[in-house]
Amino acid sequence: MKKTFVLSRCKEFCILVGLLCANIGYSQQSLGAESNGSITDLPQVIPPSPTVANLMHFEEIPVDTYTGQPNIVLPLFSKKMDGGLLFDLSLNYNTQGVRIDERSGWTGTGWSLFAGGTISRTVLGVNDDEYILTPGIYAPGEVGSFHSGYYKQMKYLRDFQSGNIVINPNGTDFKDYQNFLWNTAYGPQTYDYQPDLFQFNFMGYSGRFIVVNNNGTLKPILISSSQKVKIELSHDRNTFEISSFTVVAPNGYKFVFDQKEITKTQNRKSGVDQSGNALDSAIQAFKEISYTSSWHLSGIKSPSDFTVCSFNYQDVWVHYNTQKSTQTATTRNSPSVFNTYFDRNNPNAGFNASLVPPERLTTWNILQVSTKKLKEVTFRDGTKVAFTLSPDRHPEQDNATGCILEKAEVFDVGGVKNKEFVFTYKTTSYNRLFLMNVAERSGASRLNYKLNYNNEEGLPGYGSGAKDQWGYYKFRTLTRSGLQFNPGVLNPGGGIATTGVLTGITYPTGGRKEFIFEPHEFSFLGDVLVDPKDIEANYQDITAISNVTLRHNPINPSVNSSDILLNIPNDTGANVTISGLTGNDESIGYHFLEFVPANASLRTIRIRDLKTRSHSISLKQGSYVVRLKSLLYLPDGSSGSPEVSLRTTLSYTKYLGPVVKYKTGGGLRIQEIRFTEGLDQKTKVSYNYPLLDPTTMNTYNISGDSYSSGSFDGALGMTRKSIKNVTALLRGSTVGGLAGRCSGNRVNTSFLVQQQGNAVEASLTKGNYVGYKNVEVYQDNNGKNVMLYTNAIDYPSYDARFYEDIIPAQYNNPEKDLDFKRGNLLERSGFDNNGRIIEKTINRYDYQILASEKYFFKYSENEPCASALAYKGETYQNYKSLSVQESCFPCGNAADFIGIGTAYYDYGLPFLKESTVENYFYDAAGNQKMTTTNKRFNYSLKNYQPTYVVTKNSKGEVLTSRTQYAHEVNNIRLLSEHRIIEPIKVETTKGALINITKLSTQNTIYKDFGNGLYLPQKIQTSKGNQGLDDRVVFHEYDAKGNPVEVSKKDGSKIYYVWGYNGTQPIAKIEGYSTVNTSQQHLINAAITASNADVSDATENTLRIKLNAIRNGFPAAQVTTFSYNPIVGITSITDPRGEILYYEYDDFNRLSLVKNTQGHILEQHNYNYKN
């Protein structure tokens, strides 16, 4: 009863403040809710520092069954702030942390600490504000897009393509455009043509944007976010260096990012050119580039510009190498042409090789990052959270750099520690950091959260080659293409791909959550059904020849071994191993291992290099004779016997048929979550991902339950194959053509280029590699839910040609981002234990393109102009000055031979257009009845909020709610402060068409109260068609925007006294007329006392001051409050002077409620197992 009494006494206060918050407070609703210089074409993608990169995963990951990624969170501390903002300190887990190429942050493998916020930059090509321009031919230099003239040329290109201008070949604009294109590919310095990508993630807001140079002013362009934020920046007008960002939330609160992380990077390359020369130091000097890679949140400000909380940082240097990306180029020219120009016997082979792709090239970056690690978060009421670093350095970073978070401490207003969270780690033998325990400590009390992993000691270290094409741990296996890391086959139950992944959390109660992960499965590549012959699980490893000895003597056939008969059931790749080779060098040089097909139309395969142990060959279906033979030659008797012998083993993969209909890989998904206590399993939730959608199955003419509904949208793994054609002036042993640059012969060369990137750089769909169309969720003894989503089957990025073995050149051009159309719930059906449907939700969406930023992208792999290649490193003017010569002549303008394609950054969002909920009921006889509720939504694209919601039930009754915001009523002040989600006018009606009855209206009138405060003055309401009445009038606010004097509809006034630095109401005064000077002194004294409340003694002082207010208003009703800002309310004194005291335990949990006499009214006990 006492508890109910307290709530009833607060009810009126809560209603009034709630009305205020509904109009000026923070509100966030989901959409649909009511309420060159290089001879390599490898991209230069430099990620942010490890901890920041980990945070970005949570920008990209929607936690739902669409991706199979569970939301695993350890909440540590939370605090409500102004405007409805919530500071939430938590540890969040992501399975992608166990990828081999992933370095962990300061909280260990897979874990990220969410506390503040970051804007990070991923550099594409050259960082946009870079400007290193040294005059002269071949002078090193890089020019970022802010300086390179890129945006001027983009405007020219757009105007030309749209027909706004007519090309004038002699005009300045045309010449500037051609000169710019030249500089992107052949100029003395590298001109950047790719905007860098910026990402933000803070307190529930996330998204991506680019920054463009708009006539000398940098302008952020939002390209992805479900919230209507406004981004502002400050920059140097000459260097274009960005000093800070300010992101304004839709409620007007401003998040300032000005704490910069500086990255110093050196680009490293090594390899071998086509003539066999090492390229370790010949490609590019090891220059160092410094740029800002991240901006961290330093403060949050209200719309009226007071600071809500601030963030302080400590600098920590981190040194590390990025994972290597590798490119190989294999000639497609005939051996005679290739050897003529690239054989080492040609003294010009090195020069020729400098004009074509290297045989092998590996690139990486050495990074030194001055990172910003949180030191303190200070709140407006004086409380704070502090972060302490361990004296140990991070084992995954180089040169004893990096840091480990040791603990987070919570301090009250007086600087006294309230509690702390201590983190315990384990460093494995492979130098992987794992978080093993989180201890919440307060005084002598301690609560432990223990973390368990799947064989964390077995996870290889960063940079290991033991990984699949998605970067997860994988053993070497024999595949159809030889010995390699097989991306398609994993051991049953997830195998070693799950090594190091989180398996359980044991809570202080003794309860435990257990997680079982398994690899993703997918039957589709985009909207292309996977061919069973491309599924590795449909093949069996066969050893057809096992360590068989072959012998051959060209002059004594009697010792020759018998031929081996080999039957190959299907086209396959085979691995041939040679060992035990004997014979003299002359004889070995003339011998070869031969595979002679019975089918005369097939080619005989010969292995001539017998000294190399392992060989990969391709065999067509059929029978073969395997034997050791030699060319006809006359042995030199001085070298000894010409006999050669060896042992050989041949293995291949046999196709078993379409047994398995899905590929495996692409990371991990949740299979099962168990909740246990001791040895007892309390509940279990299981997840299945089969293809169930009849529309999809009919489209592809498939049936059965053996297909996965998963779709992978993108290049499988990180391997890309393409053809690069290069026309170059190549020099033979005797140089042909003219002297100087034009010497040599014009030769068309062609190469098969394979690029192997690293998984960390891969594009993801909704934060994962695979998205599912159907998901089944089973819970023990509680039926199941079946979900239907949109995925890449519905909205693929590419057509079938993209998934060919060799990717056509145009697919190097980035496709539009369609991810906003995927992962949207179309249907959810709930079934009981008997399989009867009990509820079904059907959703329809409206997909809106909110903005489209057009840019061009240099996609061509080819070099068709020999003279341009010859003049690489010189100016465009020098190239254009060429006269027509025998071997070296102009190829036209730069745009004629530099492949340029148009690309777009499309900013799109899914808006829930209609949602129907069907509820099913069954009587004792099993007869079914159904009710439906249908809702239709319309949205404002100015703030992404619903402007009207129409609800219709099974009886045909229709309710409509119409809402107007700042844009609809053209409230200039709210718009200028970006307070665009505050409902200003809400009207509710009943009925449809001509039978519409108005039910109610609420309207808010705003006023400028000074001090930058533009807040509600009146909240008006009406019923039916009656006129609007003033329900609440706000007469006064304090400097922080808190309501001070408010009157209700009946004219009675309420006075609120705000203490604790304006964060909490400490008194409510009712039944007064005015506040005189002496009464104001009493109020001010209480406010001062609350600001100084740091202990039991000061709290007693505050209560005395509050009691003085009560005595100073003898005719009024006064309710007072005291708080511990870290914990919550500590006492409420009602107008009669009766007090309720609230006491808390060491962990800030309510333990006792007492009355004025000290009698216990409520007691809460928290009992822990053991």
Burial, 613: exposed, middle or buried (Cβ in 10 Å; 0-12, 13-18, 19+)? Answer: exposed
DSSP reduced 3-state for 565: strand
Count CB-CB contacts under 10 A for residue 750.
16
Asked whether 417 and 1146 are in contact (CB, 8 A), the reply is no
Segment of 55-59, 514-518, 713-717, 893-897 carrying the highest mean pLDDT: 514-518
Distance CA 347, CA 1054 (A): 96
Residue with tokens 């050897």: 339
Percent of the chain past pLDDT 70, that is, above it, reads: 89
The tens digit of pLDDT for each residue in 114-127 reads: 998 999 999 988 89
pLDDT number for residue 639: 76
Which pLDDT score is estimated for 801?
A: 82
d(CA 715, CA 712): 8
Report percent pLDDT > 90 for the chain: 68
Residues 668, 670, 672, 675, CA torsion sign? positive
In this structure, the strands spanning 837-858 and 663-677 are unpaired
User: Phi-psi region for residue 387, left (φ > 0), alpha (ψ -120 to 50) or beta?
Assistant: beta
Q: How confident is the model at residue 109 (pLDDT cuts 50, 70, 90)?
A: very high
Host H or E run for residue 1043? strand 1043-1048
Does residue 922 contact residue 836 with C-beta atoms inside 8 Å?
yes
619-663 tens-digit pLDDT: 999 999 999 999 888 887 777 889 999 999 999 999 999 999 999
The two structure tokens encoding residue 1072: 């007064």
Reported as type and span, the H/E element at residue 1082 is helix 1077-1091
Q: What is the pLDDT of residue 1069?
A: 97
Structure tokens at 418: 């309230």
Helix 1077-1091 / helix 1096-1112 crossing angle, nearest 10 deg = 170
Beta strands at 985-992 and 958-964: parallel, antiparallel or unpaired:
antiparallel
Q: What tokens were used for 435?
A: 């978080």
What is the C-alpha to C-alpha distance for residues 753 and 361, in angstroms, rounded to an integer? 11
In angstroms, the Cα distances linking 886 to 868, 891, 897 are 15, 13, 19
CA distance 119 to 2: 49
Distance CA 62, CA 791 (A): 14
Closest C-alpha to 357, from 274, 467, 414, 234:
274
Residue 481: the pLDDT is 38
Work out whether strand 985-992 and strand 644-655 pair parallel, antiparallel, or are unpaired.
Answer: unpaired
Asked whether 571 and 610 are in contact (CB, 8 A), the reply is no
Chain mean pLDDT for the chain: 87
Name the nearest CA neighbour of 72 among 54, 59, 91: 91
DSSP designation for 493: G
State the pLDDT confidence band at 926, using cuts at 50, 70 and 90. Answer: very high
What contacts 1063, CB < 8 A, 6 or more positions away?
82, 379, 380, 381, 1040, 1125
Contact 940, 947 (CB under 8 A): yes
Name which of 163-172, 618-627, 1102-1111 the model is least confident about: 163-172
Q: Is pLDDT of 1008 > 70?
A: yes
User: Cα 640 to the chain's mean position, in Å?
Assistant: 66
DSSP string computed for 110-156:
TEEEESSEEEEEEEESS-TT-EEE--STT--EEE-TTTTTHHHHHHH
> DSSP class of residue 348?
T
Structure tokens that stand for 101 in this block: 């190429």
Rounded to whole angstroms, how far apart are CA atoms 1069 and 1108?
Answer: 13
**Quick one: pLDDT at residue 27?**
30
Prediction pTM value: 0.88
pLDDT score recorded for residue 1045 = 96
Find out whether 369 and 318 touch, Cβ atoms under 8 Å: yes
Dihedral class, residue 956 (left if φ above 0, else alpha if ψ from -120 to 50, else beta):
left
Query: Which tokens sit at 715?
Result: 């290049």
Strand residue runs (E) in 486-588: 502-506, 511-522, 524-525, 528-529, 539-552, 564-568, 572-582
Instruction: Give the single-character DSSP code of 107.
Output: T
| Burial bucket for residue 433 (CB in 10 Å: 0-12, 13-18, 19+) | buried
Confidence of residue 467 (pLDDT cuts 50, 70, 90): confident
pLDDT at residue 24 is higher than 60 = no
At 760-794, the pLDDT tens digits run 555 567 778 899 999 999 988 889 999 999 999 99
Cβ atoms 755, 719 nearer than 8 A: yes
